[in-house]
Amino acid sequence: MKTARVIDYETTGTPDDDNAEIIEVGFYDVDLDTREITNKFQTVIRPRGEIPPVTMAIHHLTIDDVKDGPEAREIMNIILEGADVFVAHNAKFEQHFTPDTKTPWICTYKVARVVWPDAPGHGNQVIRYWLDLDIDSEKASPPHRALPDAYVTAAIFARLLDEKTVEEMIHISKYPALLKVMNFGKHKGTTFADAPLDYLDWIVSKSDMDEDTKFTAKYWVRKRL
């Protein structure tokens, strides 16, 4: 295994939206031997449909910005070829828009939650500043654009290689993360192991929290029964 391809997409919507499309692609490769960040690629993508105002407000890409770009199918081979492992922050998002291949995925969001449970948050920009990563601020700007976000994620991934092997990260990324500390709500700062059982029950059965939080709450409910 030689090359990790760190991918970021900007889209017209979320995976829950059947009509959501990619409108920008950015990636960097990370050499797994040297940890050097290399081989950048970026392009806007011409969608078939419209870009909703709510998503334009995030990435500030308009139809005029992307109308001359290729279609996603025209550049997908560029994304897929030459990578031994794909990497993304919240990788299930990028996986949804990428053709299914046998290439494994690493989710830096999930791995970061396992490796740095006490971080104040686990978004890629929060992790960037919390770790005080030595990165090029120009390459990391503006946020919420594909290539800068891929660059920040690549720097986080390179740092995670100090803590976990690629194989360990692939394994972690296949499953919801078992979290340590609650970073939310009235029990913020409490470990899941010490949280009130009725609060854990509420997380599992009534909350709209993410799969990692629900998975951890369910784990500790069963552990304490």
pLDDT in tens, 33-84: 999 999 999 999 999 999 999 999 999 999 999 999 999 999 999 999 999 9
Q: Looking at domain 3-173, what is its CATH homologous superfamily?
A: Ribonuclease H-like superfamily/Ribonuclease H (3.30.420.10)
Mean pLDDT of the chain: 94
Domain residue limits, the chain: 3-173, 176-225
pLDDT exceeds 80 at position 1: no
Arithmetic mean of pLDDT, 25-37: 97
pLDDT exceeds 80 at position 197: yes
Residue 188 CB burial class (10 angstroms; 0-12, 13-18, ≥19): exposed
pLDDT exceeds 90 at position 173: yes
Rounded distance, CA 180 to CA 201, Å? Answer: 17
Which pair of structure tokens corresponds to residue 143? 């946020």
For 75-87, what is each residue's pLDDT tens digit? 999 999 999 999 9
Arithmetic mean of pLDDT, 136-149: 95
pLDDT of residue 140: 96
Burial track 100-137 (b if 16+ CB lie within 10 A, e otherwise): eeeebbbbbbbbbbbbbbebeebebbebbeebeeebee
Label residue 35 left, alpha or beta by phi (over 0 means left) and psi (-120 to 50 means alpha). Answer: left
Rounded distance, CA 164 to CA 129, Å? Answer: 20
